[in-house]
Structure formats: C-alpha cells, structure tokens
Amino acid sequence: MVKNILPLISLLTIGIIFSSCKPKIDASSVISAGEINAQHFVAIGDGTTAGYMDDALYHDGQINSLGALLQTQLKLVGAGEIYMPLMGNANVGTNANLLSRLILGYKTDCLGVTGLSPVRFAQQGEGSSLTTSVYSSQNKFTNFGIPGLKMIDTYQHYIGDPNDLGYNPYFGRMSMDQFTLPAWSGIWSTVRDNIFNGGNPTFCSLFLGIEDVLPFAKSGATANPMTQLFGPPGVGFEESFASWADMFSVQNIKAVVGTIPDITQMPYFTTIPYNGLNLDATNAESLNQIYGPLGFSFTVGSNPFMIEDPNAGAFGVRPMVEGELILLSVPLDSVKCHQYGSVYPLRDEFVLTLAELQEIRNQILAYNQVIRQYSNFYGLAIAETPDFYSGLNDGFVYNGVSMSAKFVSGGAYSLDGIHLNPKGNALLANVFIRAINKKYKATIPQINALNYPSIYFP
C-alpha cells in the first residue's frame, strides 16, 4: 500500500510544483489596430507634438513628444520607424530667442533668499540647429510637430521663407526646401506640401489650435490677435480645419484630432494668485494713503494686486478681482522688492482680466465646435484633451501618483508652465490612444506614463 500511495503523492506534488510555480501571462489580451492602418503614421501639431518643453526644443524633449510617444504605441500595431527633426544636443536646445532649455536650479532673489527656480541650462541656446537643415529625402519625417504652428499656418508659404516676418525656424530646418526657394514652383513649400511630399500617410494625428490663441493670451491680450474663425484656409480657423478633414477623407486617411484645452488653466497663467499681495501694517497704511482717494483700501494680510485697466475710472487703476490671472512673465523681483503690483500697478501685458479671459475662452469653444462638427462629419476620432487638462487642474491620481497643474510640483507640466513634460505627454498620448481605440475599434495598449520623467530636482 505504501508503495502505491507514495509514488502517487510524489507525482502529484511534482506535477503541481513544476506546472504552476509562477502565474502565466494570459495570452488572450490581443493587440489590434482595429480599422486603422498605422503603417505610415504622421503626427501633425505644434510644440506639444514636437516635444517642445521647458521653453525650448531639445533632443530629450523631442523623443518624449506627444508625436513620438503616440507612434511608439502605434508601432505595436504596425507603425514604422520614428523620424523626427532631432536637435543635436540632448539637453541644451533652443527657443525662438536662442535661449537654452530651463532646468530647476537655485536662484537668489532681490531679498537675498535662495530657492528653487527655473534657470537656463546653458548660457546660450543651440542656435546653429535652427540654421542647419535636417531634411532627408530617404527618411521622411513622421513627426510634423512644429513649435508655434497655428492651424492656419499649415497652408501658408511664408512660414518657410527665412526672410519673412512670419518665418518659423523650426519648420525651416526640416522643410524639403532646405533654406532655398524651390525653382520648380517659385514659392516656399508649406507644411502640408512637406507632409504629402513622397510620404503617403495612412494614419494621422492632428493637434493644432493652441497656438491660434496662446500668443494673444501670453501678451496679456495686448497683441498677437487670435486666429479669426472665418475666412479661407490659411486665414480662417474653420475652413483651415475643414480642409484638413476633407483632405483626410479624400485620401482615405484615418485620423485622430485633438480638441483644444482651455489654455488659461495652464500654470503659466495660474501660479501667481490675484490676491498675493501680502501687506504688513506699515505697507497697508501707506497704500491706503495713496489709494484712499480713489476709493481702494488695503488690509493687513493678503490683498489683490493693483493693475492698470484703461476702463477703470479716471486713473485707469484698480485692484484685481477673483478669477483674473497674472502671467508668469511678470517681473517677480519688482513685485517683491519694488512695490510692483501695489504702488506701481501691473501693466496690462502681465494680466488677463475677466473680459479678456472670456474672449479667449469663447474663441476656444468656437474652435472646438468646429473641430467636433467636422470630425464627426468625416468620421475622425476626437481626443478630448480639454477633459485631460482640466482634470489636471482638479488633480487626479495615476497609479499611486498625484498629478496636478501645479507649477513644478504638479508632475505634468514642464518648467515653462505651458508645455507638458514627458510624463504629461504620455498621459496626453493615452487620451489620443483611447480615442483611437474607441472610434476605430482598436485595442492599442496605453502607455505606462510612470516610465517617463517629469521635473528633475537638484
């Protein structure tokens, strides 16, 4: 009997141990492209698609761009190699003013207090990259993310003309024109010309429109008017977008398009509170003497900053009201040490008033209505990025990590307060992937955004 039982038990034991030491990965989770053909994917967009972040275009930002991250996932369903106009140096980069990227460093302010602050990584930006062509006729770019690109710019010849005021150097360096007016046409090539020159996209992402309002907002609504809604392609937003949607349809290209977030929710506009004027008794008293005759009073503690507003009575000065925004471009040392924002009111260019905010937000709503209407008509997938951006403003938890729109510590924005950092781009790319999956019945896995960096602390 013992002889019978023991082998049986041993057999069973060995069987259990060897068959199931470790749980096996279920092979039933199939990755599918659904209705899309991802083979020739092209990402079209502005700085976010290009990987512009920390106020510069630099190599390490580019490889973590919305376009690159999207394509990395699309490679799982057949997309080809990523070709993008990479900058030379991993971390220097350049903005349009030839300044290098920002990093988090130490800075001593006018009060002698040293603290963490965005500082430039290098003395100078990588300016030479803007005058060196990176075009390759063999490896057509799959990423047409161009910092500063507006929806209407994609039809314009001038953005490729180095002598034009509207020239975009980020486009010039990647254009097939290679800084030379093409003899065969006699006109500078457009972004659209470049995308369809020899490349035959089968699937596109299009995330444009932020730059149609952002320069206006960054000027405190004093300059750089927003793109008008109506007008022919290259002038009006509606027809420019409609023309893209129609083109996708005609060429049988499936696409995912992003709606435009409320840019006034970005840290560039929300970091400095409207009532951040903290006064002691002495300062409050002296401000009361100055502004008392105008009917404004100050108390010890927090008070609204004073701003210029031509519509505010005879002196054109008033305190801010809740909901109004101060831009990150405001000279903070002047605020801290030279009574800027109190004795000297903040100039219009550093402030967005309620009326200005309304104007900007209405314009974005109108753009988004256009995008949704035409996308639905032409059967394009819509990535509702406003939900994601406003989710950051409310704050959410992602795999145990709290994400928010808070400047520096929020984890999603880069140090320019407008563009996302790599982790933020990964989360945004997931919004696009979910939209593709939903519209085109695909099962493309989302990105584990925790594998992508955010801000480095010294």
Exposure letters 278-303 (e unless 16+ CB within 10 A, then b) = ebeeebbeebeeebeeeebebeeeeb
Binds other proteins (CB under 8 A): choice among 23, 293, 295, 310: 23
* Least gap, CB of 385 to other proteins (angstroms): 18
Judged by CB under 8 A, does residue 454 bind other proteins?
yes
Judged by CB under 8 A, does residue 29 bind other proteins?
yes
Judged by CB under 8 A, does residue 8 bind other proteins?
yes
Judged by CB under 8 A, does residue 391 bind other proteins?
no
* Least gap, CB of 104 to other proteins (angstroms): 8
* Cα 216 to Cα 221, 223, 243, 352, 409, distances in angstroms: 5, 6, 24, 10, 27
Token pair 């209505």 is found at 369
If the CB atoms of residues 1 and 113 are measured against other proteins, the closer one turns out to be 1
Total residues interacting with other proteins, rule: CB under 8 A? 43
* Least gap, CB of 4 to other proteins (angstroms): 8
* Least gap, CB of 21 to other proteins (angstroms): 7
Judged by CB under 8 A, does residue 28 bind other proteins?
no
Judged by CB under 8 A, does residue 20 bind other proteins?
yes
* Least gap, CB of 28 to other proteins (angstroms): 11
Q: Rounded to whole angstroms, how far apart are CA atoms 277 and 296?
A: 14
Binds other proteins (CB under 8 A): choice among 191, 420, 442, 447: 447
Binds other proteins (CB under 8 A): choice among 186, 293, 295, 400: 400
By the 10 Å C-beta count (0-12 exposed, 13-18 middle, 19+ buried), 187 is classed as middle
**Torsion angle in degrees (nearest 10) through CA of 428, 434, 439, 444:** 120
Q: Are the C-beta atoms of 196 and 244 separated by less than 8 Å? A: no
If the CB atoms of residues 79 and 360 are measured against other proteins, the closer one turns out to be 79
Q: Rounded to whole angstroms, how far apart are CA atoms 171 and 167?
A: 8
Write the CB contacts of 264 (distance below 8 Å, at least 6 apart in sequence).
217, 270, 325, 352, 357, 360, 361
If the CB atoms of residues 24 and 280 are measured against other proteins, the closer one turns out to be 24
Kindly identify the residues of this chain, within the stretch 286-345, that bind other proteins according to CB under 8 A: none
Length of the chain in residues, anyone? 458
Radius of gyration of the chain (CA): 26
Judged by CB under 8 A, does residue 3 bind other proteins?
no
How many CB atoms are closer than 10 A to CB 108? 10
Phi, psi of 375 (to 5 degrees): -65, -40
Mind giving me the DSSP string for 44-80?
Answer: EESHHHHT-BTTBB-HHHHTTSHHHHHHHHHGGGT--
Token pair 């360096």 is found at 173
Q: Rounded to whole angstroms, how far apart are CA atoms 266 and 328?
A: 10
* Interface stretch with other proteins, choices 235-243, 282-290, 358-366, 450-458 (CB under 8 A): 450-458
If the CB atoms of residues 104 and 176 are measured against other proteins, the closer one turns out to be 104
Binds other proteins (CB under 8 A): choice among 7, 21, 77, 134: 21
Q: What is the token pair recorded at 58?
A: 């630099």
Type of residue at 189 = S
Q: What is the token pair recorded at 363?
A: 């314009």
Judged by CB under 8 A, does residue 165 bind other proteins?
no
Q: Are the C-beta atoms of 415 and 118 separated by less than 8 Å? A: yes
If the CB atoms of residues 21 and 165 are measured against other proteins, the closer one turns out to be 21
Binds other proteins (CB under 8 A): choice among 7, 9, 131, 377: 9
Site pattern 92..121 for other proteins (x: CB under 8 A): ------------x-x---------x-----
Judged by CB under 8 A, does residue 458 bind other proteins?
yes
If the CB atoms of residues 423 and 439 are measured against other proteins, the closer one turns out to be 423
* Interface stretch with other proteins, choices 92-100, 157-165, 263-271, 441-449 (CB under 8 A): 441-449
Return residues touching other proteins (CB under 8 A). 1-2, 4-5, 8-9, 12-13, 16-17, 20-26, 29, 31, 104, 106, 116, 396-402, 411, 430, 445-448, 450-451, 453-458
